[in-house]
A and B are shown apart, each in its own frame.
Chain A
């Protein structure tokens, strides 16, 4: 049992950045095709990361570096908690802690673009935090446990009981992954009026670490989608992967077709979607069970 957890966590630590990096590569290729461009090769994100890690790092202060390290470590820890089969609520709490670290690193540099990005990132957190908590609660109500280990060994996929949760989660995923129309705090697209927002004052090795943490984060999010479909039956993992692919493609599509919205519109929209989809789902679940 313990050995199995150790292996799973080790696998996660090794594979998650590969999956995350590949997903970003796919995202860039698809986006390029949607815009009628050739686009970069699939492995471009890895080349980029390699380059970043070998550049000279320019920092604004030493506290900044500390927070970025903490961000990476806590993000990896969060994922390890999830893939090791831990408590979903703890995963959510630990995830928000790691995000706060990134925000603090942006705050610490005392730059206008970073500060703006930090505020916006906090607002984005305020948008998706309720959904993540509701997700954990939804699983608990529908499947009777907060532990990921118990949730993957049931004989009925959670999505049957939690369709609203899945929709709500897919929606906040756009915010979580900072895709347009909700790429307010920082964006991979060139037309960014706030330079690179949150990560403006991060460069070189530190920027590489942030990218790496984001890949871990993306993998964790895909894992959460899978959790809706996975049962004791091994074949169910395939459905999970398909669902991830579909949702990821949809997010890329939306990313390329929707212009950025204003901050308060994002807040209103996301809370309404979460309340209507996830809240109603929970209410009905409570009445049925």
Chain B
């Protein structure tokens, strides 16, 4: 049997190989489809194997690790150095090509000092390079299960996409291979312990997301992709700044995550580095004021949005924050991170109310949920981290499913506007059901997100962050509003509606059916997940045995609720069997025109009836709320960085 370090090595390298294989096949052949699907399943199997190995093996396999023999280590160092320079060149060339010089400058600002010091040999010899612990296992599960599913979905989606968007040049091979490169970078990031290695993988994901967003090469796509690039490169500068601070001000003692975690919170230099890493994490997780890149990312084909929003990109930021969370406990940085997270949760959920583009609602909801996870991690308490990990798991599954459904609906109906999803339950029953489960997974009571939100509330109360509690309760109110009205739109039954031709590809179903199943299974499995997945994370993160967060009695009630959700439909079907109900049209003040979508106006003419949802743009519109939110949060972020710097100098 291979060791988990071998499989994690495989996971880091194999996606790049798969990417090359896919890239080499320009034509949409069966063989290319097969390559993607087989590679996807291989990655999935390896990640589940690795994750289970870590979780079952316990602390014996979790020790930091240095590749052996030493040559292998040196070779990987050289590869990474080369990779960093290559990424920088890509950024510089594309920036100059599209006359966005500032991106090139930001890229150089972050990468050149790190690379120069590395070449000059200023970094002390690494103690460790890789480390696999329960948090990595969680990330392996998220990226390694949801990620490949999205790649498989992309196969069917992209052929439909180019069928509808004939003006976009078909570069599906590039697109698919970028998805795999992204996964490779992701696996590298979550198994690395060395800070410079993490920095390299961090930049891979930045550049990959930039290339994915710019896929269609329209003016809007290019603008949005550069926005994503500069914000993420700024975060990269922050990360590099953290590494340099540790090297220059602290003598390079601390050069890996595991050593960083052993530092005390009293050392101002360590806290400066932690703050800069957290700053980088905020950009990756698209927290306010850096949210606009994620909103712009939706111009790209749906699989890339699904990947960025659920399994990879934004999860990297919160992954870093959860890693650092023991250092946040009762520190200024921790408080500021929680405030930014809480504020983002609230502001993004208000903004989501005013959106009727399905993808944009999903984008705001991602930002909002990520805000909650950020806030949880920022509290630095065990309950906070419990909630953060749970939220991360549930969010990854629900959100990727929702993106995929919206993408499919767009391919079939030619629109992803929520208003056009009116009566979806009749038009596309299968997709509507999948979407309903996805939406319920995001906000309804017994489903995972809400359970985790509940733990988050407890965490905030226990850590005495009253302001956060207030952000959370008001944010919950608006979250309910925007999800429920979407759900209502889908549930509307229009009689005599045409059943649209559901042309969902097999490869798309390969992805969507398991994800739907996962949401349902995770509802039932959540006590088990808490015991065997999240508790080990807590034990490892806080380096002590942590008491169980959610009590037994509540879990039982929760199980009853989940069971009821599935029993009620059956039960009410059974109860209404014998009833002799008369069917009628809905009430339209007595002027129905024979069906439920026309009415007779005052001239006796039949007119179509159109029911719109409320969006309240005057109150919650982007025009009114977006820039003030960005302004407020920018001030908080700048204050945080300046004050922590002031502590050092």
Query: Using a CB–CB distance below 8 Å, which chain A residues touch chain B?
Result: 56-67, 69-70, 73-74, 77, 81, 86-87, 89-90, 93-94, 96-97, 100, 103-104, 106-115, 118-119, 122-123, 125-127, 129-130, 133-134, 137, 140-141, 146, 195, 200-201, 204-205, 264, 271, 275, 279, 282-283, 286
Does residue B568 face the partner (Cβ distance < 8 Å to A)?
Answer: yes
**Do B568 and A73 have beta carbons less than 8 Å apart?**
yes
Minimum CB–CB distance for A248 against chain B, Å? 25
B248: shortest Cβ distance to chain A, in Å?
A: 41
**CB-CB contacts below 8 Å: B574-609 with A:** 575-576, 579-589, 596-597, 609
B: residues with CB less than 8 A from A are 423, 425, 444-446, 450, 454, 457-458, 461, 464, 466, 469-470, 472-474, 476-478, 480-481, 484-485, 487-489, 491-495, 553-554, 557-558, 561, 564, 568-569, 571-573, 575-576, 579-589, 596-597, 609, 611, 613-614, 616, 619
Per the bound structure, the CA–CA distance linking A286 and B92 in Å amounts to 52
Tell whether, in the assembled complex, residue A70 and residue B488 are in contact, meaning their CB atoms are under 8 Å apart: no
Question: Which residue of B454, B569, B614 is within 8 Å of A119 (Cβ)?
Answer: B614
Main SS class of interface, B: helix
Q: When the two chains form their complex, are residues B445 and A130 in contact, meaning their CB atoms are under 8 A apart?
A: no
Query: Which residues does chain A contribute within 8 Å of B564, judged by CB atoms?
Result: 73-74, 77
Contact A127-B477, Cβ < 8 Å, known A87-B554, A90-B554, A110-B492: yes
| Contact with A110, one of B474, B558, B586 (Cβ below 8 angstroms) | B586
On whether A70 and B487 interact (CB within 8 A), knowing A90-B554, A100-B444, the answer reads no
* B residues near A113, Cβ cutoff 8 Å: 587, 589
Give the CA-CA distance A106 to B488 in the complex, in Å.
Answer: 8
Contact partner, B596, options A74, A94, A111, A118, Cβ 8 Å:
A111
Query: Min CB distance, A222 to chain B, in Å?
Result: 22
From B472, B569, B576, B585, give the contact of A60 (CB < 8 A): B585
Q: 17 A-B Cβ contacts within 8 A?
A: A58-B581, A74-B568, A89-B457, A93-B450, A93-B454, A94-B445, A97-B446, A97-B561, A100-B487, A111-B596, A112-B609, A129-B476, A130-B474, A134-B470, A141-B461, A201-B587, A271-B474
Nearest first, the 3 closest Cβ-Cβ pairs linking A and B are A111-B586, A107-B488, A69-B572
Which one of B458, B474, B493, B569 lies within 8 Å of A61 (CB-CB)?
B493
Given the known interface contacts A59-B584, A108-B493, A126-B477, the answer about A279 and B569 at a Cβ–Cβ threshold of 8 Å is no
Q: Which residue of B lies closest to A289 (CB)?
A: B464
Question: Is there an interface contact between B616 and A264, defined as CB atoms closer than 8 Å?
Answer: yes
> If A122-B481, A133-B476 touch, does A111 touch B557 (CB 8 Å cutoff)?
no
Q: Which of A57, A59, A129 contacts B477 (CB under 8 A)? A: A129
Nearest opposing residue in chain B for A196, CB measure: B587
Compute how far the CA of A184 lies from the CA of B494 in the bound complex, rounded to whole angstroms: 25
Q: Which residue of B lies closest to A115 (CB)?
A: B611
| B586 contact set on A, CB distance < 8 A | 60, 109-112, 114, 200-201
The answer to whether A66 and B569 touch across the interface, beta carbons within 8 angstroms, is: yes
Taking CB atoms, residues of chain B closer than 8 Å to A100 are 444, 480, 484, 487
A62 to B575, CA, bound (A): 12
Asked whether, in the complex, the Cβ of B558 is within 8 Å of the Cβ of A90, the reply is yes
In whole angstroms, how far apart are the Cα atoms of A107 and B585 in the complex?
14
Q: How far is the CA of A234 from the CA of B3 in the complex (A)?
A: 65
Residues on A with beta carbons closer than 8 Å to the beta carbon of B575:
69
Question: Pick the contact of A65 from B466, B554, B581 — CB < 8 Å?
Answer: B581
Q: Chain A residues near B597 (CB, 8 Å)? A: 110
Contacts of B614 in A (CB 8 A): 119, 123
Most B CB contacts (10 A, CB to CB) among A115, A134, A282 go to: A115
Q: Which residues of A contact B450 (CB under 8 A)?
A: 93
Question: Would you call B473 and A286 a contact (CB within 8 A)?
Answer: no
Q: In whole Å, how far is B82's beta carbon from the nearest beta carbon of chain A? A: 52
Q: Are A60 and B584 in contact (CB under 8 A)?
A: yes
Q: What residues of chain A lie closer than 8 Å to B580, measured between beta carbons? A: 56
CB-based nearest A residue for B451: A93
* Most chain B Cβ neighbours within 10 Å, of A64, A122, A271: A122
